[in-house]
Chains A and B, each alone.
Chain A
Amino acid sequence: MNRFLRLPPQILRLVLLALGIVGSYAVARHFLTPPSFGEYGFYRGAALGEVAARPAVLAGREACAECHADQVTQVAAFSHKGLSCEGCHGAGQVHADNPDVAMEKLHYSHCVRCHEANPARPKWHKQVVAKDHYPGDKCTECHVPHAPSEVP
């Protein structure tokens, strides 16, 4: 018999209990901690990939240019050159994946959304009070949205 086992029995029981608690914590931690936890920090490293796994809804103008190069080139030559296709035409990933699915139909509200006069808009931005500017609701009767400085 070594000296350890000659500890008073009540102390020995306490030591064994403590060892049991620490041991079961270590076992539970081993089995319940997700695999990638702590890969980059105090969080699940795999969460990055999961957040990134969503499908995109907006295709991006590069995807539009694959088929509609003419329109993209035309827009790039005029003051609407900074505009994204999908800003006016709506989200296009579904249409890019399957061209049979039609894009959103455009109407008057797309123009006034940016060009209706508002005192908070910067002064360099072209604005009109739409109802004084033209009583109708078809801006395209006069303006070409892809080439806004041309009035036919």
Chain B
Amino acid sequence: MKRPVTRRKLLGGVAAALAGAILAPAARAAKAAVRKVFVSSDAPKGYRPEDHQWAMAIDAGRCIGCGLCVEACKKENSVPEGPYFRTWIERYVITRPQPGSGESRGPAHVDSPNGGMRGFPEPPVPKEEIQHAFFVPKLCNLCRHSPCVQVCPVGATFDAPDGAVLIDPKYCIGCGFCIQACPYGCRFMSPVTHTAEKCTLCYHRITRGLRPACVEVCPTEARVFGDLKHAGPSDPIRQFYERNKVQTLKPHLGTEPRVFYAGIDKEVR
């Protein structure tokens, strides 16, 4: 049975064709715009994240609290002026207990003036009252089960295949959930970009075969860095694991940090 072409059908067909003709290029333009914003080409060539497993280790017993690492990190990563740090140094001053108190140690004083970037002044307690004192460099703990990655609502922070926990600044909506989630206080909201920022292990350096800035300038080798997939027995990172008894920060949280510490005391969290 052949149906006649009614006016209604004809008009409907024309309208659909017009809509298609207008929408198809618009959709193509939208796709091109998305591609332009989200694909970049100036990354180091030939770097395959699957071929590496980066690791950082801290020998706190070797840290002299000079703050060169903090300063280098600020310069290298254009970290904003003021109380914003991707890495910082804490000073722990454990006091002697009151005589006859039956305690093993007195209160601990922890400070980090300006992240330790300009060194540390005299301790807040007189020298005679100090039982022992030490410095602890802090940075992103590179958790295997990162709370920050779990809470990100848009997939802007992630655990890269090479062990770096990174932030996609183009995708970050600046909600700040990750900053609250990090149990180590390693993230901050940048007052410049209004996105979350953190240690990237100097991703732009390590992908080019350089050391992270803090490791590069550390004068006492308190910071050790290496690629576990390519580290030979004499590599500093392997030597660190062989020579030291290590621990992670806040192990009870189950975050499984990949940054290992040697030579820290129970007060360090």
- Chain A residues with Cβ below 8 Å from B61 are 122
- B:149-183 near A, CB below 8 Å: 155-161, 166-171
A114 to B263, alpha carbons, bound, how many Å? Answer: 20
- Chain B residues with Cβ below 8 Å from A8 are none
Indicate the size class of the contact surface on chain B.
35 or more
Contact A47 B219 (CB under 8 A): no
Nearest opposing residue in chain A for B35, CB measure:
A35
B interface footprint on A121-133 (CB within 8 Å = 1, 0 otherwise): 1100100000000
A33 to B155, alpha carbons, bound, how many Å? Answer: 12
Asked if A57 lies at the interface with its beta carbon under 8 angstroms from chain B, I say yes
Asked if B39 lies at the interface with its beta carbon under 8 angstroms from chain A, I say yes
Minimum C-beta distance from B227 to chain A (A) = 15
Asked if B62 lies at the interface with its beta carbon under 8 angstroms from chain A, I say yes
Nearest opposing residue in chain B for A61, CB measure:
B216
A56 in contact with B64 given A43-B171, A87-B217 (CB within 8 Å): no
A100 to B73, alpha carbons, bound, how many Å? Answer: 25
Nearest opposing residue in chain B for A55, CB measure:
B204
Dominant SS among interface residues on chain A: loop
A interface footprint on B108-144 (CB within 8 Å = 1, 0 otherwise): 0000000000011011000100100111000000000
Contact A56 B120 (CB under 8 A): no
Contact A120 B65 (CB under 8 A): yes
Query: Contact residues of B with A, CB < 8 Å?
Result: 27, 30-31, 34-35, 37-44, 47, 49, 61-68, 72, 75-77, 91-93, 119-120, 122-123, 127, 130, 133-135, 155-161, 166-171, 200, 203-205, 207-208, 210-211, 213, 216-221
Query: Contact residues of A with B, CB < 8 Å?
Result: 27, 31-37, 40-44, 46-58, 60-61, 80, 82-84, 86-87, 91, 113-114, 116, 118-122, 125
